[in-house]
Structure 1
Amino acid sequence: MFRPPISKEKYYYHAAKRFMMDAQLLRCRAAIHVEDKDDIVFWSTIFKHFRPNDRFHFIAGSRNEKGHETKGVTQCLKYIKYLNPKFFICIDSDYRYLLQERNIDINHYIFQTYTYSFENHHCYEEGLNDLCRRITTLPNHLFDFRQFLKEYSNIVYKLFLWHLYFLVADPKRFSIAEFNELASFEWQRRPDIRQNGRKELNILKNKVDRKLAQLRRAYPKADLSILEDKYKEIGLTPDTTYLFIRGHNVYDMVYMLNREVCKKVLRQAKDASAGTHPRVNLFGYRNSIDDQLKKNIQFGAYPAILKIEEDIHTLF
C-alpha cells in the first residue's frame, strides 16, 4: 500500500517527541540536542554545575528528514519550532550573538555560548597561568597568558570590526576565512614564548597593520565608530576580542603555547635539579594538556558565562 512521504515539519515534530520520551524513560529532566560529541563535555559540565540534582539526556546528532545521520548547528536549528522545557538545544553562538540574530535566545529554548564557540570559554584568561602546574606539577613563572591574550586581542580588534562590518555589508569583500588567516600566528610547531611572546605578537601586528592600511585606503569613508559602540554594549572590547573570534583557532593557539611553556618548565626543573628534584612527568603530559584545558571553565568570572547562568535560571 502506497504511503505518502511524511512532511519535514511532521518528521521533526515526531523526532522531538521521541527525544522527550527517551529522556523520560531515562529519568532525565530534559533532552538536549547539541552540535557534536565534543559539545557534550562542555554543556554537561555547565548543567552539572548549575543543576547538580538534575540529569539530562544529550543528543550529539540525529537523522535528518532524508534519513541521513547529521550533526552541527543547522541540524539543531531544524527543531526550533518544537523546543520546550523538556527538549531544547545548546549551540555555539558563532556570530549570532554579536549580530543579534532573532529568536536565538532562551525564550525560544535555545542556549548559546555567547562566545564564538565553547572552546573560547576554555581559553578564558583566568586559570590559564595555573594549567602548567596542573599538567606538570610545577608552577609557571615563564609566561603570562592573561597579558598575552590581552595584547593579542588588542592587535586584532580593529581588524575584527572591519570583518564584522563587511559580514553584514558584503561578506565576500572580507571573508571569514581571510580574517581567520590574518588573525592567526604563523608558527608551525613551536611558538617563541620569550618575552611573553613578543616576537610572535610583533609579527602578527605587522601583518594586521598592513591589512588595516589597505582597508582604510580602499574605504576611506567607512566609519566604524558606530559599530564599536554597538558591540561594546554586548561585550566586545579591545581586551575581549579573543572570546568572539573562531574558538578552534584560539584553542589551538592556547594549546600550543601551553605545550611550549610545559616543555620549558620541565627542562628547567630537570637542569636545575641534577637528579635531586622529585620525579616529574617529563613525557606523558602532552596527553593531559587537552584534558586540563577543557576543565578550565571560570564560573561567575565574565559576562558570557554569567549570561549562560542567567539563561539556566530563566528556564528552570
Structure 2
Amino acid sequence: MEGSNWIEKQAKLYRNLALTGRYQAVIHLEDKEDETFWDYQLQAVKPGRYRYLYFSKSDDGKDTRGCEQCLKFRPYLTARFFICIDSDLRLLRGETGLSAENLIAQTYTYSWENHLCEASHLSERMKQAQPETDFDIQAFLTSFSRIVYQPLLYLIRYGADSHLNQLWNVSKFNACIPLQPKRTDLADNGKEYLKNIQSLFDAATEELTEEPAQTNETLTPENAYLHIQGHQLYKLMLHIGIMLCKGTGIAFRTDILDEGLHTTGYDEIELLQNDLKAVLDN
C-alpha cells in the first residue's frame, strides 16, 4: 500500500464517523492519558459526546501515538475531526501553522500536566485543603520560574540545532531539577532547594558559548515554569505536596493536584479555550 494512503484512508473514516451525528467531533489525542484534561476543556466550550482516538496507523501500518502522528493528519482536518496536542517547545520556537485556523488545538504550556501545577490555582487549592500549611506554593513556583527562565531560553536556542542540542538539551536541563527535595529543604518556601537548583543551572550553563534565544512575548520569567517538561514539574509538585500533607489525611495527588482543571484565570488556559471555541464554531 502507498505510504501516505494509510493516513488519508483513516482520515476519511474518522471524518465520516464525525458526520454520523453521534459525536460533536472525533479528536485525535497524543495518548489516552490526555483525555481527562481535553474532555474537561471541550465540555466547557460545547458539552456533548466526543470520540477520542489515542493512536492510529502510521505510513507503514503500525499503531502509532504521539504528537508527530497527530500532525500527519494536518491536511485532512475539519471542524468535526481535529487534533489536540501538547505544545512542547514548538510554540516557544515559533513553529508556525499550529493554530485553530488550521484546526489544531494545543496546550500553550509544555503539556497538560503544567496546567495542573498552575501556581495561583494550585496554591488556592492547597490553602483550602490544608489551611495550616506554612508553605506558600505560589511564592515557591514564582522563584522557581525565575530560575528556569534563562536556561529555558538556552534550550529553545540549542534545541533548534542538532550539534548544539548535544551540549544543552531537555535531559541536561531536567538533571538540574532534583525531583525529591528533603522536607528540611522546604523551610522558608523551599529556599535551600531553590538555591541548589540555581547553582546546578549556573554550573551547567556557564560553558555554553552560543547566546540564548531572543526573548519573546510568550515566555516570561513569571510563566517559564509552565514551559518546562510537564511531567517533571508534576512529579516535583507531587513530591513536595505529599511531604506537606504527611499525617494530615489529605491525599495530595487526588484531593489537590489532580483537581487542577480550570478554564479561566490565566493566559495559557484562556488561549486554549479560545482555540477550542474557534475550532468548534467553524
Q: TM-score, normalised by structure 2?
A: 0.90
C-alpha distance after superposition, 1:190-233 (max 9, x if no partner):
57322111111111112122234333xxx2xx554x702xx2x1
Deviation at 1:173, TM superposition (A): 2.1
Larger radius of gyration: 1
1:1-316 equivalent positions in 2, closer than 5 A? 5=1, 7-25=2-20, 27-52=22-47, 54-132=48-126, 137-169=129-161, 170-182=164-176, 184-185=177-178, 187=180, 192-215=185-208, 219=209, 222-224=210-212, 227-228=214-215, 231=216, 233-234=217-218, 236-263=219-246, 266=248, 282=249, 285-286=250-251, 289-290=253-254, 292-315=256-279, 316=281
CA apart distance, 1:133: 6.0
Report the alpha carbon displacement of residue 300 of structure 1 after superposing the two structures with TM: 2.1
Q: Deviations over 1:152-191 (max 9, x none)?
A: 1111211211222212243222122111212x12536757
Partner SS for 2:261: coil
Shift of 1:151: 0.4
- Aligned partner of 2:154: which letter? W
Paired residue secondary structure (2:142): helix
CA distance in 2, matches of 1:305, 1:181: 28
CA distance in 1, matches of 2:9, 2:78: 14
What is the CA deviation profile of residues 244-287 of structure 1, one whole-angstrom value per residue up to 9, with x for unaligned ones? Answer: 111110111111111111116x2xxxxxxxxxxxxxxx3xx44x
For residues 56 and 181 of structure 2, what CA distance do their matches in structure 1 show?
37
Q: How many residues align?
A: 278
Sort the Cα spacing of 1:140 and 1:99 in 2 relative to 1 into closer, same or farther, 3 A.
farther
| Letter aligned with residue 242 of structure 2 | R
Q: Compared with structure 1, are the counterparts of its residues 39 and 191 closer, same or farther at alpha carbon in structure 2 (3 Å cutoff)? A: farther
In the alignment, the residues of structure 1 paired with residue 184 and residue 92 of structure 2 have an alpha-carbon distance, to the nearest angstrom, of 31
Q: What amino acid maps onto 1:211 in structure 2?
A: A
Identity over aligned residues, as a percent? Answer: 30
Seen in structure 2, the aligned counterparts of structure 1 residues 262 and 181 have a Cα distance that, compared at 3 Å, is same
Change in CA separation of 1:191 and 1:294 when aligned onto 2, cut-off 3 Å: farther
Shift of the 206–293 alpha-carbon distance from structure 1 to 2, 3 Å rule, reads: same
The AA in structure 1 aligned to 2:13 is: R
Q: CA 1:24 to 1:145, structure 2 compared with 1: closer, same or farther past 3 Å?
A: same
Deviations 1:86-128 (A, max 9, x none): 1100000111111121221112111111111111111101221
- RMSD after superposition: 2.2
Amino acid at match of 1:89: I
Looking at structure 1, the residues matched to 107 and 179 of structure 2 have their Cα atoms a distance apart, in angstroms, of 28
Residues 151-160 or 64-73, more deviating: 64-73
Q: 1:181 to 1:73 in 2, by over 3 A?
A: same
Q: Which runs of 5+ in 1 are unaligned?
A: 267-281
The alpha carbon displacement at 1:73 in A equals: 0.9
Whole-angstrom CA distance in 1 between matches of 2:175 and 2:10: 39
Instruction: Measure, in 2, the Cα distance between the counterparts of 1:178 and 1:133.
Output: 34
Worse-matched range after superposition: 138-147 or 42-51: 138-147
Partner SS state of residue 96, structure 1 = coil
CA contact (8 A) 1:167 1:175 kept: yes
Instruction: String of CA shifts for 1:31-62, please: whole Å, max 9, x gaps.
Output: 0000001111110000011212x321111112
Q: Any conservation in 1 of the 2:88–2:110 contact (CA below 8 Å)? A: yes
